[in-house]
Amino acid sequence: MKPDQQETKNFKFELVHMDRHCRARAGVLHTPHGSIETPVFMPVATHGAIKALQPKELKDLSFQVLLSNTYHLHLSPGAELIAKAGGLHKFMGWDRAILTDSGGFQVFSLQKNSITDEGANFKGPDGENIFLSPEKSIEIQQLLGSDIMMAFDECIPFPTTEGYVQKSLKRTHSWLKRCVEAWTNKNQALFGIVQGGTYKKYRKLSIDAVTDFKLPGYAIGGVSIGEGKELIREVVEYTAPLLPEDKPRYLMGVGMPEDLFMLWENGVDMSDCTIPTKFGRNGTLFTNRGKIRIDHKSYRRDFFPIEPNLKDYVNSTFTRAYLKHLFDSNEMLGQILATAHNLAFYKSLAVRAREAILEDRFLDFKRDFLAGYRQ
Amino acid sequence: MKPDQQETKNFKFELVHMDRHCRARAGVLHTPHGSIETPVFMPVATHGAIKALQPKELKDLSFQVLLSNTYHLHLSPGAELIAKAGGLHKFMGWDRAILTDSGGFQVFSLQKNSITDEGANFKGPDGENIFLSPEKSIEIQQLLGSDIMMAFDECIPFPTTEGYVQKSLKRTHSWLKRCVEAWTNKNQALFGIVQGGTYKKYRKLSIDAVTDFKLPGYAIGGVSIGEGKELIREVVEYTAPLLPEDKPRYLMGVGMPEDLFMLWENGVDMSDCTIPTKFGRNGTLFTNRGKIRIDHKSYRRDFFPIEPNLKDYVNSTFTRAYLKHLFDSNEMLGQILATAHNLAFYKSLAVRAREAILEDRFLDFKRDFLAGYRQ
């Protein structure tokens, strides 16, 4: 049994309510940069910038936390430079909470030279060698000064043989130990990541090993890598309830509105995804009646808001016809407003889900929303 | 002598002060969509959108008027559609003043099939025929519902023979008469445009013909078309003082900060240009010490604001190092923040110029500014 890592300063998860009819939870995550109401959806600022939106706009939309990427910031402009600028919050003009990933996902998703027990070697965009290890990842994240750091893990592809899962888990768990040892700034919280592929027994094994470190939070890693929605659901349904009830649960890189309901129903508190921002830039907008392609000719004379039930700036100011016009004219403002709308939509989903959980009617909310959304 | 067109509703120019040492003027232009303090610089929203900025941000930057383009909006989405949407103000979410050009400049700048006394035929982007005439231009501008409409004129190239200038002036003045006759909505003001190329005698002739209509304001047209800064200055120095003192004077499509000082010094009240927005998107930023290319390596570790004397959101939040990082990373946010900065800079120039005029020290302000700017 490892010592409890609860000495983390200014960081505390408060479980406010569990829905009586399912596993959905409402909570508050206190961080050195403000509180985060859960369930929470986190927008992604890969390079220390939400694509197309200014930090003040994220505040106007009431976002309390965003995600940024260790690997990308390490490459450019470099963590030392950001530390010199006063840390990532100051550098990017965002004084609310930041979660940084560890680079572990890039071990999976980018071209790499080799992965050993020591760490992972990448080919950088200019052919240069990039080395990440548990120690290096934590060093970078501590230089960035994020509120929540993620452990450096190996995200394995799907499908994977049992043999490799076993070998990789051993590595991920020993890397977690090294992360914990490298973690010196207790103003930053460290989350452990559970791996194990689609094998229940290895998920269980990983949960036991990872939670043994008594960390401030836990993530379910290695999902949404091509295994399909049914297998994601299976892993989440099995894994989430086995995580400690009094710690926040985070699932990385998922997804569409319907996916969020699945996560929340199973007691996941935090998630992130590039979908709302990426889809927005492409002209795909989320509404209570499903997704729409705003450049479709049917919106030419549609003088209604994108989503009449949203009261944010975009929906109280602009029409579908105007957004279609902006996309038709290749105006950057189209991508900006579409991004702001999609994030407003995702934010409102999380807010409405939380309200429903607090009133024990999450399943009703989910049913009603999906009935309208899937029309 | 034509009847006075002063019955224009809710539109009035108030000449507040003339600098004792030069021709610079401070005024207030009252419009149905709020007052405009002059001298004023107007950002350009060609397609009914300032590239990269939301209307609320222009408000935050205290802009009181913007320019939009008749030709482009006529092409797409069409003035009828915008009228159906409730007019251009509502369509684009901007409740302050709007000036629309007439399409006359596009007669000069775009490929055209023919120009006759009736009007101008253009080839549209899809090869279609676009016809603009004085009547058509005013009809479009009245459908758009701008606060200030511009007369449809012929902008002649440089250099032009005296013979053609004479012939073209006759056309421009008869077109102005037809504009005035087509102008039915007196909630919108119509400005006449003085042409005459670089010939003083034809400028004088045009001034007499155009001001005879007793319009709410006058523009100096046909400048900044390749004749060079010295000839622009000559035309402005000669033309501006001959325009009625009690009417706003507008010069279209100029320019760089140093050009604005020349305009203001000669008693021009209004101008517009795409330079601050276009340069911003390219990473060229204006400062009191001149222009900088923000992607230059020297800004990599420059943790100062772009212009420390500006107190807007961008300069009070972000550093040169962050903006360089955004441009290096191809983040759209770089273009957004650079555009906002450049417009904040232009706005502050006009505000400082007005303050200086009110205190009879415009020439000192100009000298001091340019000394720093040209370092």
| C-alpha span between B26 and B353 (Å, rounded) | 9
Average pLDDT of the residues in B226-243:
96
| Gap from A333 CA to chain B (nearest CA, Å) | 5
Per the CB < 8 A criterion, the answer to whether B307 and B288 are in contact is yes
Q: Using DSSP, state whether A56 is helix, strand or coil.
A: helix
Q: What is the DSSP code string of A186-207? A: TTSEEEEEE--TT-HHHHHHHH
A250 C-beta neighbours (distance < 10 Å), count: 27
Ordered strands of the B40-42 beta sheet: B40-42, B270-272, B249-251, B217-220, B189-194, B148-150, B97-100, B65-68, B44-45
Per the CB < 8 A criterion, the answer to whether A30 and A12 are in contact is yes
Active site residue A101: yes
Q: Count of A–B CB contacts within 8 Å?
A: 112
Query: Across the interface, do A54 and B321 touch by the CB < 8 Å criterion?
Result: no
Query: Across the interface, do A54 and B300 touch by the CB < 8 Å criterion?
Result: no
Catalytically active residues of B are 101, 272
Best residue of B303, B320, B323, B329 to probe chain A, by most A CBs closer than 10 Å: B329
| Gap from A342 CA to chain B (nearest CA, Å) | 16
Q: Kindly list the distances between the CA atom of residue B171 and the CA atoms of A53, B100, B140, B212, in Å, as whole numbers in the listed order.
A: 48, 21, 20, 16
Per the CB < 8 A criterion, the answer to whether A25 and A17 are in contact is yes
Query: Across the interface, do B49 and A326 touch by the CB < 8 Å criterion?
Result: yes
Task: Let me know if domain B12-272 sits in CATH 3.40.1350.10.
Answer: no
- Per-residue pLDDT of chain A (375 residues), as tens digits, is 455 555 687 899 999 999 999 999 999 999 999 999 999 999 999 999 999 999 999 999 999 999 999 999 999 999 999 999 999 999 999 999 999 999 988 877 876 678 899 999 988 888 888 999 999 999 999 999 999 999 999 988 899 999 999 999 999 999 999 999 999 999 999 999 999 999 999 999 999 999 999 999 999 999 988 899 999 999 999 999 999 999 999 999 999 999 999 999 999 999 999 999 999 999 999 999 999 999 999 999 999 999 999 999 999 999 999 999 999 999 999 999 999 999 999 999 999 999 999 999 999 999 999 999 998
Minimal Cβ distance to B319: which of A53, A85, A328: A85
Q: Using DSSP, state whether B77 is helix, strand or coil.
A: coil
Peptide bond just before B157 cis, omega within 30 deg: no
| Gap from B254 CA to chain A (nearest CA, Å) | 23
Beta bridge pairs of residue B286? B291
Residue B198's closest CA among B237, B151, B164, B232?
B232
Peptide bond just before B255 cis, omega within 30 deg: yes
User: What would the pLDDT profile of B145-186 be if each residue is shown by its tens digit?
Assistant: 999 999 999 988 899 999 999 999 999 999 999 999 999 999
A105 alpha-carbon distance from chain centroid: 12
| C-alpha span between B239 and B193 (Å, rounded) | 12
Minimal Cβ distance to A51: which of B53, B318, B332: B332
B162-182 and B134-144 helices, crossing angle to 10°: 50
Best residue of A47, A96, A144 to probe chain B, by most B CBs closer than 10 Å: A47
Q: Which of the following is catalytic: A19, A259, A269, A272?
A: A272
| Gap from B126 CA to chain A (nearest CA, Å) | 14
Q: Which CATH class is domain A31-273?
A: alpha beta
Minimal Cβ distance to A49: which of B76, B313, B333: B333
Task: Give every CB contact of residue B201 below 8 A, 6+ residues apart in sequence.
Answer: none
| C-alpha span between B59 and B80 (Å, rounded) | 27
> Residues of A near B (CB-CB distance < 8 A)?
47-56, 72, 76-77, 81, 84-86, 91-93, 300-301, 303, 313, 317-319, 321-322, 324-326, 328-329, 331-337
Q: What pairing do the DSSP bridges indicate for beta strands B270-272 and A12-18? A: unpaired
Q: Which of the following is catalytic: A19, A101, A153, A312?
A: A101
pLDDT at B35: 98
Query: Across the interface, do B50 and A332 touch by the CB < 8 Å criterion?
Result: no
pLDDT at B112: 65
Cβ neighbourhood burial of A113 (10 Å; 0-12, 13-18, 19+): exposed
For A337, phi then psi, to 5°, come to: -65, -35
| C-alpha span between A16 and B325 (Å, rounded) | 40
pLDDT band at B126 (very low <50, low <70, confident <90, very high): confident
Query: Across the interface, do A322 and B52 touch by the CB < 8 Å criterion?
Result: no
Per the CB < 8 A criterion, the answer to whether A70 and A35 are in contact is no
Task: Give every CB contact of residue B358 below 8 A, 6+ residues apart in sequence.
Answer: B16, B17, B26
User: Would you say residue B6 has pLDDT above 60?
Assistant: no
Cβ neighbourhood burial of B167 (10 Å; 0-12, 13-18, 19+): middle
| C-alpha span between B187 and B7 (Å, rounded) | 9
| C-alpha span between A264 and A271 (Å, rounded) | 9
The domain locations on chain A are 31-273, 282-373
pLDDT band at B128 (very low <50, low <70, confident <90, very high): confident
pLDDT at A2: 58
Angle at A15 between CA A11 and CA A21, to 5 degrees: 155
φ/ψ bin of B263: left (φ > 0), alpha (ψ from -120 to 50), beta (otherwise) = alpha
Residue labelled with tokens 């016009």: A325
Minimal Cβ distance to A317: which of B93, B324, B332: B93
Per the CB < 8 A criterion, the answer to whether B317 and A55 are in contact is yes
Per the CB < 8 A criterion, the answer to whether A251 and A270 are in contact is yes
Per the CB < 8 A criterion, the answer to whether A306 and A341 are in contact is yes
pTM of model > 0.95? yes
Query: Across the interface, do A81 and B51 touch by the CB < 8 Å criterion?
Result: no
Rg of chain B taking only CA atoms, in angstroms: 20
| C-alpha span between B250 and B272 (Å, rounded) | 9
Angle at A282 between CA A277 and CA A283, to 5 degrees: 95
Q: Kindly list the distances between the CA atom of residue A168 and the CA atoms of A101, A157, A207, A228, B360, in Å, as whole numbers in the listed order.
A: 19, 11, 14, 22, 77
Per the CB < 8 A criterion, the answer to whether B243 and B249 are in contact is yes
Give me A236's structure tokens.
């989440």
A230 C-beta neighbours (distance < 10 Å), count: 8
- B28-32: Cβ within 8 A, 24+ apart: B29/B65, B29/B97, B29/B217, B29/B248, B29/B269, B29/B270, B31/B65, B31/B97, B31/B147, B31/B148, B31/B189, B32/B97, B32/B147, B32/B187
User: Would you say residue B1 has pLDDT above 60?
Assistant: no
User: What would the pLDDT profile of B47-83 be if each residue is shown by its tens digit?
Assistant: 999 999 999 999 999 999 999 999 999 999 999 999 9
User: Would you say residue B87 has pLDDT above 50?
Assistant: yes
A173 alpha-carbon distance from chain centroid: 22
pLDDT at B319: 98
Q: List, in sequence order, every beta strand (DSSP E) within A95-186.
A: 97-100, 112-115, 120-123, 129-132, 148-150
Minimal Cβ distance to B85: which of A303, A317, A333: A303
Rounded to the nearest 10°, the torsion over CA A141, A146, A151, A154 is: -70
Look up the ipTM and state it: 0.97
Helix count and strand count (H, E) for chain A:
15, 17
- Contact list in A for residue B50 (CB cut-off 8 A) is 333
Give me B251's structure tokens.
């010069």
For B116, phi then psi, to 5°, come to: -130, 175
Residue A176's closest CA among A107, A102, A99?
A102
pLDDT band at B119 (very low <50, low <70, confident <90, very high): very high
Peptide bond just before A276 cis, omega within 30 deg: no
Top-confidence residue, A157 or B303: B303
Average pLDDT of the residues in B184-210:
97
Q: What pairing do the DSSP bridges indicate for beta strands A12-18 and A25-31? A: antiparallel
pLDDT band at B107 (very low <50, low <70, confident <90, very high): confident
Residues in chain B: 375
Average pLDDT of the residues in B313-339:
98
| Gap from B56 CA to chain A (nearest CA, Å) | 9
Average pLDDT of the residues in B120-141:
92
Nearest CA in chain B to A45: B331
Rg of chain A taking only CA atoms, in angstroms: 20
